Amino acid sequence: MKKRIIFALTCAVAMALPVFDAQAEVDKHARNLAGSCAACHGTNGSNKSGMPILAGMDKALFVTALKEFKSGARPATVMQHHAKGYTDEEFELLADFFAAQKISKKH
C-alpha cells in the first residue's frame, strides 16, 4: 500500500516536471502515444487480463510486429487497425518506451 502511494507520487512528480530538453520532449511524445495502448495492454503495457504484455518487450520484435500489423502481413483482430495510425518513427518511440517498462505486479 505504501509502495503504491510512493509510486503514485513519483508518477505525479514525473508528469509535473517541466520539459527542459529535446530528449524529455521525445519521452513525453512516446508516453502520450503509449497512452492509447493502455486501454487494452494495460498501464505501461503490463496487462494481466489476457492481452499481450508489452512491458519489457524486445525492441526489434515490437517494431516488426507493428510493421507487419500495419502492412497486413501479420494476422490480427484489432492491431492492424491500430498500427495504421502510426509512422515508423512512432513505432520506434513506442518500442523504446515499452522496452523500458517493468511488468507491474499490481494492477
Interface with ligand HEC, residue 30, by CB under 6 A: no
- Quick check: 38 and 97 in contact, CB under 8 A? no
- Quick check: 107 and 42 in contact, CB under 8 A? yes
Instruction: Give the nearer residue to ligand HEC in terms of CB position, either 12 or 72.
Output: 72
- Quick check: 101 and 55 in contact, CB under 8 A? yes
Rounded to whole angstroms, how far apart are CA atoms 74 and 52?
Answer: 15
Interface with ligand HEC, residue 65, by CB under 6 A: yes
Interface with ligand HEC, residue 55, by CB under 6 A: no
Interface with ligand HEC, residue 77, by CB under 6 A: yes
Interface with ligand HEC, residue 62, by CB under 6 A: yes
Instruction: Give the nearer residue to ligand HEC in terms of CB position, either 17 or 58.
Output: 58
Query: Which of 100, 89, 88 is closest to 26 using CA atoms?
Result: 89
Binding residues for ligand HEC, per CB under 6 A?
36-37, 39-41, 51-52, 54, 62, 65-66, 76-79, 82, 94
